[in-house]
Amino acid sequence: MRKTLGAIAILMAGTSLAQAEGVLQLYNWGNYTSPELLAKFEKETGIKVTVTDYDANDTALAKIRAGGHGYDLVVPSANYVPIFRDGGLIVELDRSRLKNFGNIAPEWMDVAWDPGRKFSVPWQWGSTGMAVNTKVYGGDINTSAIFLDVPEELKGKINVVPEMSDIVNFAIWYVGGEACTEDTEVLKKARDVLLAAKPDWLSMDYGATERLANNDWAASVNWNGSSMRARILNPDVAYGYPKEGYPLFMDSVTLLADAKNVDEAYQFIDFIMVPENAAMISAFARYANGIAGSDEFMPEDMKTAPEVVTPEEFKAAGNFLPTCSPKSQEYLTAIWTELMK
């Protein structure tokens, strides 16, 4: 009798211990969250984090809009934060619960898409450019012509990542226009350039890190961090900054309006603003982060990598994509659908 009572007591203690530990549902880009970071977080707070992947802002948007997703945090790109905000999908962050808030680097504190960082906290930022296997093509890779006017050696071997805003804006810049323009002349030219180049593309798919590493693709429009990871696996892969203009992106962590584990969410957001932890995030996906003081904790190869440290001559061509007006968005979408057919 006493033995069974004792066993029941232990069991109950065990379950209540488990309940004290808490869970967190993080909805993030694929290949973007460091497992070591999550392990460290769980060790310090006892909160278990489950990550669900998405590969496009639109996917995340559609899913969150649909409701019933069960996520607590989502990490949209800069130009989508206003969309989430205006749609009432994310909430303003309670500063009093974020003691590390001051760690955000000054240049990333007041951004156009979230003045004063009311809704978001930096996760990682980077650029979109050209990842090319230099063994296949030895020419200048710092140009959008790699995919908009494909060189002979790369014809039929280059992938274009199906990110609408990145690709269409690349084309707009290539023909001399401005991002999110409503100028129909410019848009027409951009569309024509894209349509003309499409036959030379091999595919429009994700997964560049693996595909470039195992030589399925000889080149791809790709993000810098993914390109660095590809280079680590396959030294022939180099990253080019298109001089005609290339998009910068920053992904930020936001708190969903219908989050269930709000407490745990705040703990996590606070956690990632610690310089060491931010460095951990960067070390995994090889993208820079927006937390001051994390530099000294970054891995050695990132401190000098051309993908992360933008060479001076290309810095000016990098622009954050603004949130386009609905009219401009419609044009972009129309061009994109025409392209995708």
Partner 1 sequence: MASEAERAQAAASTRNAWLLSTPALVLLFCAAAGPLLIVLVYSFLAKGDYGGVAWNFSTDGWVGILFSRDIFDDTLQLADAHLTIFWRSVKISLLTTLITFALGFPTAWFIATRPPKARAMWLFLITIPFWTNLLIRTFAINEMIRNEGVVNSFLQGIGLISEPIRMINTDLAVLIGMTYVYLPLMVLPLFAAIDRFDMRLLEAGYDLYASRLQVLRHVILPIVKPGIVAGSILVFVPSLGAYVTPRVLGGGKNMMIGNFIELQFGQGRNWPLGAALSIALLLIVMIALIFYVRAATKGSNPHG
Which one of the spans 3-11, 104-112, 184-192, 282-290 is the region binding partner 1 (CB under 8 A)?
A: 184-192
- Rounded to the nearest whole angstrom, what is the least distance from the CB of residue 251 to partner 1 in the complex? 18
70, 7, 11, 60: which is closest to 32 by C-alpha? 60
33, 8, 28: which is closest to 256 by C-alpha? 28
Element (H, E) at 320: strand 318-320
- Rounded to the nearest whole angstrom, what is the least distance from the CB of residue 109 to partner 1 in the complex? 27
319, 282, 275: which is closest to 300 by C-alpha? 282
Residue pair 11/38 in contact by the 8 Å Cβ criterion: no
214 counts as binding partner 1 under rule CB under 8 A: yes
309 counts as binding partner 1 under rule CB under 8 A: no
Which one among 22, 42, 46, 56 touches partner 1, defined by CB under 8 A?
Answer: 56
Which one of the spans 5-13, 99-107, 126-134, 197-205 is the region binding partner 1 (CB under 8 A)?
A: 197-205
**In the window 118-157, what residues touch partner 1 (CB under 8 A)?**
156
96, 31, 61, 77: which is closest to 256 by C-alpha? 61
Residue pair 138/236 in contact by the 8 Å Cβ criterion: no
Which one among 28, 159, 282, 310 touches partner 1, defined by CB under 8 A?
Answer: 159
Which one among 51, 109, 136, 204 touches partner 1, defined by CB under 8 A?
Answer: 204
- Rounded to the nearest whole angstrom, what is the least distance from the CB of residue 177 to partner 1 in the complex? 14
Q: How many chain residues bind partner 1 (CB under 8 A)? A: 36
CA distance 100 to 269: 9
235 counts as binding partner 1 under rule CB under 8 A: no
Residue pair 34/40 in contact by the 8 Å Cβ criterion: no
CA distance 49 to 52: 10
Element (H, E) at 276: helix 275-285
Which one among 95, 155, 188, 315 touches partner 1, defined by CB under 8 A?
Answer: 188
326 counts as binding partner 1 under rule CB under 8 A: yes
226, 208, 206: which is closest to 162 by C-alpha? 206
Which one among 31, 34, 203, 328 touches partner 1, defined by CB under 8 A?
Answer: 203
Which one of the spans 53-61, 138-146, 225-233, 268-276 is the region binding partner 1 (CB under 8 A)?
A: 53-61
Which one among 31, 34, 45, 333 touches partner 1, defined by CB under 8 A?
Answer: 333
SS3 187: helix
Residue pair 211/220 in contact by the 8 Å Cβ criterion: yes
Q: CA angle, 254 as apex, 320 and 109 as ends, to 5°?
A: 50
322 counts as binding partner 1 under rule CB under 8 A: no
100 counts as binding partner 1 under rule CB under 8 A: no
**Binding positions for partner 1, rule: CB under 8 A:** 56, 58-59, 61-62, 65, 83, 87, 156, 159, 162, 164, 184, 187-188, 191, 198, 201-205, 214-216, 326, 329, 331, 333-338, 340-341
